[in-house]
Chains A and B, each alone.
Chain A
Amino acid sequence: MSRSVMWWLPRGLLLGLFAFFIFGPLVNLVLWSVAESWFWPNRLPSQYGFRFWERVFRPEGQAMESLWLSIWIASLTTLLCLAVSVPAAWALAKANLRWRAAILMLFLLPQAFPNLPVYINIARIFFTFDLNGTVIGVVLVHAAHGLVYSIWIATAAFAAVDDDLELAARNIGASALTAFRTVTLPLAAPGIAASAVFVFLESLDEFTASYFVGAPEVRTLPLLLFSAAAGGNMQVAAITALILLVPSVLFMLIVERFLRAEVLAKVGK
């Protein structure tokens, strides 16, 4: 008995500490979102309620407006990324390109450099084209950064489709386009869908670019979260944060079902 306690106690403590580290901040968000009053020296909120949720979710409230705007921007970004990525990814996966590795690297660059100097200069360029503070402007910047996901994952998805299947379709008389549309594209679709979710989330969560290019006219959810936090409104900030948190956690839980191992193994190759 004492041996099993000695065996379990350190493991249990370490796991408990780790759980505290991972979930503590999240519990704190949930508590703040339902705290109607929480002042020192109270260790927990002294009054609970959904008053702030009602305020945030009022149809005419700013948060709903920001939420729909964020979803709209993320949808447009995803559409734009898919529209340019599917043909590009097919070319990268199936054509014998001389500069293939360099081109793949090029799409990684937006993630491999500190973005902030780029954003401030985009804002400066957009200013002359009247794109600052417009939805299109924000979508274009988000798309440049989402492309690495859609291109890399879609390329891996196309590469995982066996060439012989497309050849078989061609042999029985399908045109190149028909073979692509009826054989290759459906087989690569799960991977492409996964890449679309990546792009959507990346855009939904994006803060820095929206801050420089979109604000103050285009007020996405992360920008609203930031101004609520800066204004000291912990409840509204917590609720906005939770709205952003839910899709990210859901995606984390299901991403492996979307991305098959043989696609994952080909990402970036």
Chain B
Amino acid sequence: MLPYLLLAPALFVVGAFFLVPLAFSVGGAFEGPQGPTLANLANAASLYRMDLLFTLLIVVASTALTGLGAVAIGGYLTLGRSKLALRLLGAMYRWPLFIPFIVAAQAMRGFIGQNGLMNNTLVWIGLMPQEWAQSFLDWRGIVITFVWKQLPFATLLVAGAMAALDRSGIEAAQNLGANRLRILIGIVIPQVARNIMVALVLSFVTMMSVLSVPMMISGQSPTMLTVAMAWRINSFGDYGTANALGLVSCVMTGLVAWVWLRQAAAERAR
């Protein structure tokens, strides 16, 4: 009995301030002035179909790029031979790890704008004529900010798993003359595939619920679902449609999380 008493306060906090409002959110999606209805979902689908696709496109692209970057950096940290390059890379990639999304958004806003520091630097070193300078403050900017922010986290998980691998397989392949790209693809990645999945699922879910980045990087329509939800609330007090949109994004992440949980369960069964 005692362990459950010790757990009770913590369970209460999560229950009252997360589970109950989550239930309200799901219920609210089907709530109309005259009882249960599907009108909210229909409204959300007709008004925000483009935003839904836009959100999916951005989050999938960011997740994919994050995964590629994490595997590339993790792979070099595992198989690289130059001590200096390893140290430099290891010291650099972690910097954005705990930087909040809103700070990342503010930093990027000035960096990738038409006359931002990035274009200015490229023009200044002569890599690019001034006329090519264009603003990335649209969906591309959101993707860049997401990748910048999530890459350290994903890399930490992936590189950690790679470092824990048994080196004998890698060394055997090296002795047989396999080059490092083949070792990465054929030996390292298959063994850490599950860790890569975990990193990607967590990144996907995180990016789905960020409000500050799409709001600050790109205000134009179409925009991400989080901005659409905030807009329904702040401008119309329309909880029905906002909750319907919330339900859609919960289902999207729920599907992704379900795939992960099933994998974790399969692993435990082994």
A residues contacting B by CB (< 8 A) are 11, 15, 18-29, 31-32, 40-41, 43-44, 80, 83-85, 87-88, 90-92, 95, 97, 103, 106-107, 109-122, 124-125, 140-141, 143-145, 147, 151, 201, 205-208, 211-212, 222, 225-226, 229-230, 234, 237-238, 241, 244-245, 248-249, 251-252
Contact B85 A241 (CB under 8 A): no
Closest to B207 in A: A114
Shortest Cβ gap from A231 to chain B (Å)? 12
CB atoms of B107 and A21 under 8 A apart: no
Work out how many contacts link A and B, with CB atoms closer than 8 A: 232
Which residues from B are CB-within-8-Å of A91?
2-4, 6-7
Known: A84-B10, A117-B242. A208 touches B212 (CB 8 A): yes
Q: Is the interface of B mostly helix, strand, loop or mixed?
A: helix
User: Are the C-beta atoms of A32 and B110 separated by less than 8 Å?
Assistant: yes
Q: Is the CB of B107 within 8 A of A25?
A: yes
Q: Which one of B11, B17, B110 lies within 8 Å of A106 (CB-CB)?
A: B11
Residues of chain A within 8 A (CB-CB) of B189 are none
B101 at the binding interface (Cβ < 8 Å):
yes
Q: Is the CB of A226 within 8 A of B247?
A: no
Per a CB cutoff under 8 Å, which of A25, A103, A118 touches B108?
A25
A85 to B124, CA, bound (A): 53
Q: Which residues B1-42 have CB closer than 8 A to chain A?
A: 2-4, 6-7, 9-14, 16-22, 24-25, 28
Given known contacts A28-B110, A109-B18, A211 and B211 CB-to-CB distance under 8 angstroms: yes
Closest CB-CB distance, A252 to chain B, in whole Å?
5
- CB–CB B98/A248 < 8 A: yes
A-B contact pairs, 5 of them (CB 8 A): A87-B6, A120-B229, A120-B239, A144-B14, A241-B102
List, in ascending order, chain B residues with CB within 8 A of A28's CB: 107, 110-111, 116-117
With A29-B110, A116-B229 as given contacts, are A15 and B99 in contact (CB-CB < 8 Å)?
no
Contact B98 A225 (CB under 8 A): no
Contact with A along B219-250 (1 / 0, CB 8 A): 00000011001100100000100110111011
Among A41, A103, A122, A238, find the residue whose CB has the most chain B CB atoms closer than 10 A.
A122
Contact of B253 (CB < 8 Å), options: A24, A97, A112, A252: A112
Q: Give the residue among A40, A113, A151 with the most B Cβ atoms within 10 A.
A: A113
Known: A87-B6, A95-B3, A125-B20. Is A22-B111 also a contact (CB below 8 A)? no
Residue of B nearest to A100 (CB): B3
Q: Mark B residues whose CB is within 8 Å of A.
A: 2-4, 6-7, 9-14, 16-22, 24-25, 28, 82, 85, 88-89, 92-111, 115-118, 120-121, 123-124, 148, 202, 205-206, 208-212, 215-216, 225-226, 229-230, 233, 239, 242-243, 245-247, 249-250, 253-254, 257
Question: Contact between A208 and B211 (Cβ–Cβ < 8 Å)?
Answer: yes
In the complex, residue of chain A having the shortest beta-carbon distance to the beta carbon of B88: A15
Q: Is A25 a contact partner of B22 (Cβ separation < 8 A)?
A: no
Q: A113-B250, A114-B226, A147-B13 given as contacts; is B120 within 8 A of A121 (CB)?
A: no
Task: Report how far A41 CA is from B114 CA in the complex, Å.
Answer: 11
Minimal beta-carbon separation of B111 from chain A (angstroms): 4
| Shortest Cβ gap from A195 to chain B (Å) | 13
**A124 x B24 contact (CB < 8 A):** yes
With the chains together, A103 CA to B98 CA distance in Å? 26
Pair A103/B229 contact, Cβ less than 8 Å: no
Contact A244/B95 with A15-B85, A106-B11, A124-B239 known, Cβ cut-off 8 Å: no
The 9 closest A-B pairs by CB, nearest first: A117-B246, A205-B100, A25-B107, A95-B3, A144-B17, A248-B98, A87-B6, A91-B3, A114-B209
Q: How far is the CA of A113 from the CA of B101 in the complex (A)?
A: 17
